[in-house]
Amino acid sequence: MASIVAILSSVLIFSAFSPGSSLNFTYYDRTCPRAESIVTNAVKNAVSKDKTVPAGLLRMHFHDCFIRGCDASLLLDSKGRNRSEKEGPPNVNSLHAFYVIDSAKKELEASCPGVVSCADILALAARDAVALAGGPTWDVPKGRKDGRTSKDTETITLPAPTFNISQLQQSFTQRGLSMDDLVALAGGHTIGVSHCSSFQNRIRNFSATQDIDPSMHPSLAARLRSVCQINSTNAKDAVTPMVPSSTSFNNTYYNLILQGEGLFASDQALLDNPRTKDLVSRFASSPEAFRKAFVNSMIKMSSITGGEEIRKDCRVVN
C-alpha cells in the first residue's frame, strides 16, 4: 500500500504546487540528510506512549496552514501583550502534542543547527502521524520558512464546525483549495476527539421549532446529549470521539456522514452539494480512493507557503 501511495504522490505533485515553488523533495539531502528520520523517530516515540498524538499533529498542521500558510506561526508562544494563535478560540483547548515538535527540533538543532524549519518539521510530523495511525504515507516537499507573526485574532478565519457548505467552499477557495480538497481533507476527522461546544448547537435548541438538528441521526443525538449534559460539572471539558475508531485512520467518517452521523454541522453539510455528496459516497465505498485523494490534497495544502526565517526554537522568533 505504501509503495502505491508513494508512486501516486510523485505523479500528483505537479498539480499540488507551482513549478516555480521553492519547495522540493531533496531540500535537505546535503544539508541535513537525517532530517526526516529524526522527525519520524520523535513522532514514533510519542505515539508509542499516546495514541492521541496523530490527531493532534494532523490538526496542528491544518490549523497552521490555514492562517498564514504553512509557516509554523501556530507554534509560537504568546509574548507580552501579543496573544499567539495557540491562544485563539479554535486552538486553546483543542490542540496538543506540541512537545513532539519541540523534541524533533531539539535533536535537529544538535545534528544540523539552523537548517530545518519548524514549518517543515510540522509538515513531516503530520505525514508520519497519519501513517502511524494506519493511513497512507507520502513524500513531503520541503523548504518552508518559519513566520514571525502569530495573532490569536486571526484564528477566526479557520473553517468552523458550524459552517454550511457555502462557507466551507469560500474558506477553501480563498486558500487555493478546491471542493475536492475540502472533502478529502475533511477525512482527517476520522481520528481525534471533539469538545461538546463544537456541536452543542445541533443537539439542543437547534431552532425555534426543532430541538435537534434534523440532519443528525436520533441515536447519535441521544448519545451526544448524554455525554454533553448541561448541568454536569465537567460539561465544558467533555469530549467525544469524532468517530468510534478515533485512533485509526480509515474511511469510516464518510460512511457515518451518509448515515446522518457526522459529528459537526460542517461534516453533514458535505451532503448539501452535488459534487461533495458524490465524493462522500465515493470515499465511503472505496478506502483506496480516499487515501489517494487525501495524499494529493495534503501535499497541496502543505505547499501553501509563507515565513521568513529558520527558527532556532519553534516557540520563539530568532
Q: Chain-centre distance of CA 102, in angstroms?
A: 18
Please list, in sequence order, all residues whose beta carbon lies within 8 angstroms of the beta carbon of residue 313, skipping any fewer than 6 positions away: 105
Q: Which of 117, 135, 157 is the last residue of a domain?
A: 157
CATH of the domain at 285: 1.10.420.10
Using the 3D structure, point to which of 157, 175, 209 is the last residue of a domain.
157
Number of domains in the chain: 2
Q: Domain check: are 149 and 6 in the same one?
A: yes
Pairing assessment for the beta strands 239-241 and 193-195 based on DSSP bridges: antiparallel
Nearest to 179 by CA among 189, 167, 187, 169: 169
Integer-rounded Cα radius of gyration of the chain: 19
Q: Are 86 and 6 in contact (CB under 8 A)?
A: no
Is residue 280 within 8 A of residue 271, CB to CB? The reply is yes
Structural domain that includes position 267: 165-297
Looking at the fold, whether 105 and 237 belong to one and the same domain comes out as: no
pLDDT at 232: 57
Residues 192, 252 within the same domain: yes
**309 assigned to some structural domain:** no
In-domain check, residue 9? yes
Backbone φ, ψ for residue 240 (5° rounding): -140, 150
pLDDT at 245: 81
Please identify every residue annotated as catalytic.
Answer: 63
Pair (215, 235) in one structural domain: yes
Element at 172 (helix H, strand E): helix 165-173
Examine the domain organization and report whether 10 and 35 are in the same domain. Answer: yes
pLDDT value, residue 233: 55
Give the model's pLDDT for residue 276. 98
Residue 313 lies in a domain: no
Along the 318 residues of the chain, how does pLDDT read in single tens digits? Answer: 333 333 333 333 333 333 335 899 999 999 999 999 999 999 999 999 999 999 999 999 999 999 999 999 999 999 999 999 999 999 998 899 999 999 999 999 999 999 999 999 999 999 999 999 999 999 999 999 999 999 999 999 999 999 999 999 999 999 999 999 999 999 999 999 999 989 999 999 999 999 999 999 999 999 999 999 866 555 556 889 999 888 999 999 999 999 999 999 999 999 999 999 999 999 999 999 999 999 999 999 999 988 999 999 999 999
C-alpha cell at 315: 516557540
Q: Is residue 316 part of a domain?
A: no
